[in-house]
Structure 1
């Protein structure tokens, strides 16, 4: 891999991170997958917030 770096984390954090992976999966792959899940979750949370805050009008009212 190009451009590797280290991220100092507590051993307990590293151990928790391992639980999100599958055998043979790198920490980089686990983190990338978790970040994508977080992005999707934020997207859906935003959509729900928009729906709750928006005022919709029926076609008859338009």
Structure 2
């Protein structure tokens, strides 16, 4: 890590964040992993929306 900063959060928030961590992960690792997952989910949502707009996507429930 190059530059570190302090982000104030409630102890409850810190404790919740800790539950998402894997052994050996820093808070920075946990937050970055969560952000990557969110970015992936947003990408997939855009992809599905595009497919729906082109009428090429059929939800599994409709198959």
Larger Rg: 1
- TM-score bracket, normalised by the shorter chain, equals 0.7 to 0.9
Unaligned segments of structure 1, at least 5 residues: 57-62
Compute the RMSD of aligned alpha carbons. 1.4
Task: Output the TM-score relative to the length of structure 2.
Answer: 0.77
Q: Which has the higher contact order (CA 8 A, sep 6+)?
A: 1
Equivalent pairs counted in the alignment come to 56
Task: Output the TM-score relative to the length of structure 1.
Answer: 0.78
Unaligned segments of structure 2, at least 5 residues: 57-63
